[in-house]
Amino acid sequence: LSPYECGYTDLPERDFSSVRLFFLFPPDDNSLLAATAAKLSETKSNTIVIVASNEMYRSLPQEIIEMVHDHLVYPSDTFTTVSKLRLYRSFLIPCLTSVAENELEDLKSKVLELEEQNISKDKFFAIIAHDLKNPFTGFLGFSEYIAKYYDEITKEDLGDFSVRMYDSARLVYDLIENLLAWSRLRTGNIAFEPIRLNLSETTEHVLKLCEQSVIKKEINLVNTLPKRIEVFADGNMLDTVVRNVITNAIKFTPRGGVIHVGHMYETGKTVMFVADSGVGIPEDIQKKMFRLGYRVSNDGTDGETGTGLGLILSKEFMLKNDGDLYFESKPGNGTKFFISLPNVN
């Protein structure tokens, strides 16, 4: 019952509408009380008060006591009861209402954030679908031509078609690989085993894989990393990040350009950088880097394509390793990416 319904008519009903008095008399059904109190406590602004003898109140199960805000001894004089109720009006009710309002605002904010994330994911998957279609179109076109005219194709043309088909297949494979890794990371199904690693060995391995692309574009690649530079990170994640950053630099560096791989130290961190003399990142795209739902990847200087997913994944991998991935860039003056990781100490 509300205080007004109990006869305390000198208390304004609208001011005490959230106060609920539970009168207990032996023998009472605790299960009914528990169900009613639980329903009322779902609304944080309700003030639940038990009116009962001390003996009855002490006999209540703990789960019920945890749901109520106060106990009024019964029987008690009207003055004591009204004084306590006025105290609720002055302090407890506004406090609970404020908590409820804050929780509601937090909930609204989280709902809005989730809605924005869903919109971003929809845009993101639309971009992925488009970027998957393009290399498949080329692959299907070349394979269809070979199937129809295999006896008329020259050895030189066959070699050219093979390279183009390989490039298309490689692009699709890398995209799917990044997409699966990103999905596992988001769902918590990816292995995470940070250990002491030699960053130089990881980088040398990646540079070996990228050697043909560097030679093809006649890029001058300078690696000034010392032979042993240790960091603390997950090996597979670090390999992915270094590979994505270096291939991105190769992609946007023109023929005859320069890529410099080096390092520096910050407090508690070892920072590897990859600086290129490429085209730089347009300012409008810089603001959208590492964000889902935006196309942030232009074609490379030799027409190389991409989605930007590799850099999004790399950023999340670095954060997972208590590190970071960030960049500096000026359109027309190249880009410098920084891979920051905890020192082994």
Going by pLDDT thresholds of 50, 70 and 90, the confidence category of residue 261 is: very high
Do you know the residue count of the chain? 345
What is the C-alpha separation between 169 and 315, in angstroms, rounded? 25
Do 98 and 203 reside in the same domain of the chain?
Answer: no
Q: Is residue 218 part of a domain?
A: yes
Residue type for 207, please? Answer: L
Question: Which among 75, 105, 135 is the end of a domain?
Answer: 105
125 occurs within a structural domain: no
How far from the centroid of its chain's Cα atoms is residue 166's Cα? Answer: 33
- On whether residue 156 sits in a domain, the answer given is no
Residue 320 identity (one-letter amino acid) = K
Structural domain ending residue among the three candidates 105, 124, 149: 105
Is pLDDT above 90 for 203? yes
Question: Do residue 304 and residue 206 come from a single domain?
Answer: yes
Q: What percent of the chain has pLDDT over 90?
A: 22
Q: Is residue 204 part of a domain?
A: yes
- Clarify whether residues 196 and 100 are in a common domain: no
Q: Which domain holds residue 326?
A: 191-345
User: CA 86 to CA 301: how far, in whole Å?
Assistant: 75
pLDDT for 246: 93
Same domain, 342 and 246: yes
Assess if residue 31 is contained within a domain.
Answer: yes
Q: Are residues 207 and 340 in the same domain?
A: yes
> Does residue 254 lie within any of the structural domains?
yes
Task: Please say if the pLDDT value at position 101 is more than 60.
Answer: no
Taking only the tens place, the pLDDT of each residue in 24-61 is 556 555 665 666 666 555 555 566 776 766 777 677 77
Q: What are phi and psi of 259, to 5 degrees?
A: -125, 130
Q: Give the separation between CA 30 and CA 70, rounded to whole angstroms.
A: 17
8 Å CB contact between 199 and 327: no
Q: Is residue 178 part of a domain?
A: no
In this structure, what CATH number is given to the domain that contains residue 43? 3.40.50
pTM, to two decimals:
0.57
Q: Tell me whether residue 206 is in a domain.
A: yes
Domain count, the chain: 2
CATH of the domain at 325: 3.30.565.10
Averaged confidence pLDDT in the chain: 76
Torsion-angle region of 152 (φ positive above 0: left; ψ -120 to 50: alpha; else: beta) = alpha
Q: Are residues 220 and 90 in the same domain?
A: no
Checking if the pLDDT of 98 tops 80, the result is: no
pLDDT at 49: 72
User: Which of 58, 73, 105 is the last residue in one of the domains?
Assistant: 105
The answer on pLDDT for 185 being more than 90 is no
